[in-house]
C-alpha cells in the first residue's frame, strides 16, 4: 500500500501561528470535515498544526480504497504518513495499529462517528489552554529537546548532606 496523493501546504509569509509551539495531529477523514474513517481503512488523513490559539491545515495524504481485512501491510504507509504527529483521531483502530502507532509516539484517539474536525481542534486547543491531559502532557514533553547540561547547575552549587 502506497500513498496515492499528498498535498503539503507551504507556509506563506505573514501566516503565523500563535506564540505557543504547535503540535501536529491527524484526522482520518474522507470529506475533510468529519472524522469518518477507521485508521486501517482510512482513505485520507488531514494533518493540522495546532496551538492554543490557532490551527492550520499543513498536509493532506490520500490513499487508495482499502478494506478492513486485517492485512497489516497497509499500516506501514499510513503510519509513515503521520511523521511528526502526536495523535491521530479516527473512528477506530485495531490492536496492531494501536501498538505500532504508540511505538512511533502517535496517540490514537477514538471519536464518535461523524465528529467534526473543527470541534475536535477546538477541544484540543481548550485542553492546551487549560492544562493538558496525561497523554498530551507526555506528547508535549517528548517534543522538548533533552538538555544535556540540565545537571550542570546543580553540580556547580555543590551537594549538602
In sign, the C-alpha dihedral spanning 7, 139, 137, 149 is negative
Look up cell 490513499; give the residue.
63
Q: What is the pLDDT of residue 13?
A: 42
pLDDT band at 24 (very low <50, low <70, confident <90, very high): very high
What are residue 7's DSSP bridge partners? Answer: 60
Residue 14 pLDDT exceeds 50? no
CA gap 54, 2 in Å, rounded? 31
* Cβ 48 vs Cβ 56: under 8 Å: yes
* Cβ 149 vs Cβ 76: under 8 Å: no
Look up cell 514533553; give the residue.
141
- Of 4 and 33, the structure prediction assigns the larger pLDDT to 33
Name the burial class of residue 25, with classes exposed (0-12), middle (13-18) and buried (19+) by CB atoms within 10 angstroms of its CB: buried
Per-residue pLDDT reduced to its tens digit, 75-124: 999 999 999 999 999 999 999 999 999 999 999 999 998 899 999 999 99
Q: What is the pLDDT of residue 140?
A: 84
In the predicted model, what is the mean pLDDT of residues 120-138?
92
Q: Estimate to the nearest angstrom the gap between the alpha carbon of 95 and the chain centroid.
A: 18
Task: Kindly report the number of other CB atoms within 10 A of residue 130's CB atom.
Answer: 9
Ranges 38-42, 66-70, 136-140, most confident: 38-42
Residue 12 pLDDT exceeds 50? no
Q: What is the pLDDT of residue 95?
A: 94
Regarding the domain delimited by 3-146, which CATH topology (the fold level of the hierarchy) does it fall under? Nucleotidyltransferase; domain 5 (3.30.420)
Residue 148 pLDDT exceeds 50? yes
Task: Kindly report the number of other CB atoms within 10 A of residue 109's CB atom.
Answer: 18
- Of 146 and 120, the structure prediction assigns the larger pLDDT to 120
Amino acid at each position: 500500500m502506497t500513498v496515492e496523493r499528498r498535498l503539503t501546504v507551504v507556509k506563506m509569509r505573514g501566516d503565523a501561528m500563535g506564540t505557543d509551539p504547535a503540535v501536529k495531529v491527524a484526522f482520518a477523514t474522507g470529506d475533510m470535515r468529519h472524522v469518518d474513517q477507521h485508521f486501517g481503512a482510512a482513505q485520507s488523513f488531514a494533518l493540522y498544526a495546532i496551538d492554543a490559539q490557532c490551527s492550520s491545515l499543513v498536509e493532506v495524504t490520500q490513499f487508495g480504497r482499502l478494506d478492513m481485512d486485517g492485512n497489516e501491510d497497509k499500516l506501514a504507509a499510513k503510519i509513515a504518513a503521520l511523521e511528526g504527529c502526536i495523535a491521530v483521531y479516527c473512528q477506530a483502530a485495531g490492536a496492531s495499529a494501536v501498538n505500532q502507532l504508540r511505538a512511533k509516539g502517535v496517540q490514537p484517539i477514538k471519536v464518535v462517528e461523524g465528529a467534526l474536525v473543527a470541534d475536535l481542534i477546538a477541544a484540543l486547543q481548550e485542553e492546551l489552554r487549560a492544562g493538558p491531559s496525561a497523554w498530551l502532557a507526555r506528547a508535549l514533553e517528548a517534543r522538548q529537546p533533552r538538555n544535556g547540561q540540565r545537571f550542570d547547575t546543580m553540580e556547580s552549587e555543590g551537594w549538602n548532606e
